[in-house]
Amino acid sequence: MVVSSKPILENSSHIKTCKPHVSDDHFSIDIPVIDMLDPQAKFHITKACQEFGFFKVVNHDVPKETITKLEGEAVKFFNLPQCEKDKAGPANPFGYGNKRIGTNGDVGWIEYLLFSTNSELISEKSVNIPGNSHLFWCAVNEYVSGVRNIACLVLEMIAEGLKIEPKNVLSKLLRDQKSDSCFRLNHYRPCTQLEALSGGRNLIGFGEHTDPQVISVLRSNNTTGLQICLKDGTWVSVPPDHYSFFIIVGDSLQVMTNGRFWSVRHRVLANSLKSRLSMIYFGGPPLSAKIAPLSSLMEAGEESLYEEFTWGEYKKSAYLTRLGDNRLGLFEKKIKIRQYGHNLLI
């Protein structure tokens, strides 16, 4: 078991705060690495979710062949002529998209495929994939099955680490047949004119944001670019590891733990030399599921920090905002406290 409880920053005398662009001297960090076979993993996961909202898992049981098979199919698709890729789009919201992210003006140096993982929708009929689409969809389904299992196992370890019952109180949301989960393949082409295009600043591949769902499972090839924002506002680079998975706490899990866990802001910067391919499973609950702090977790007298809402309500609200907006802000309660004889709202 290897776990780093504190961030180690390079060039710490030049710490930067969250800004749309930073110069090339951004920092690396030693993030928590969780061995899924470690008997103490549930406690290390809980600590990582509280401190970072982000960690890497190893010994995860997803075969390398499953990973390489899907990466090969994804590379074949993204290497197609543009006119062929366009047949799988436009993304609305599922399908192929290029540079445009969502419908509210966000753009990035990216092209992507987005699918629902609902069993009725993730099929050869859902998006038109040119070529041997049967091989493509077989690879997608095999991979999604594997990462969904990782997400559910992590959520069950979280329940055990927090001592909440039942053990599947979180994972059942993802295993539900009506689970509103989705899967995304992101491709960031090399930006050979990066400096000229961005005036010497880093070009954004995918802008800073939090994930609105419960939990995300991310994997990429060996190209750098992913960054997370620490609680003090420092952006740090995440070293890639193409056979491990990174777990990201989502907004919904932050609410369900009443702020004990932290939905981490993250982004991807473009690379001037190499392409980056990432695969992300977003574990979401059914649209009708109520998102609120778990009663079995709340201590005596503890107040909820958030208004209760359904996943469908939050999803609708989230997709009306820009990527970098504080989506949870609309659902935070104004808590009344008494200080020096006056009622204050915070």
- 3-class SS at 27? strand
Residue 326: which residues within 8 A CB-CB, separation 6 or more?
A: none
Considering the candidates 276, 322, 327, 338, report the single residue annotated as catalytic.
276
Q: Give me the numbers of helices (H) and strands (E) for the chain, helices first please.
A: 8, 17
The values of phi and psi at residue 73, to 5°, are -65, -40
Q: How far apart are the first and last CA of the chain?
A: 40
Output the CA torsion sign for 229, 230, 235, 240.
Answer: negative
- 3-class SS at 279? strand
For tokens 């899907």, the residue is: 70
In three state form, how does the secondary structure of 281-321 look? EEECCCCCCEECCCCCCCCCCCCCCECCEEHHHHHHHHCCC
Q: Looking at this protein, which amino acid is placed at residue 328?
A: L
Task: Report which of 9, 37, 3, 1 is spatially closest to residue 230, judged by C-alpha positions.
Answer: 9
189 catalytic residue (yes or no): no
For tokens 């099955």, the residue is: 145
Q: Which residues are catalytic?
A: 276
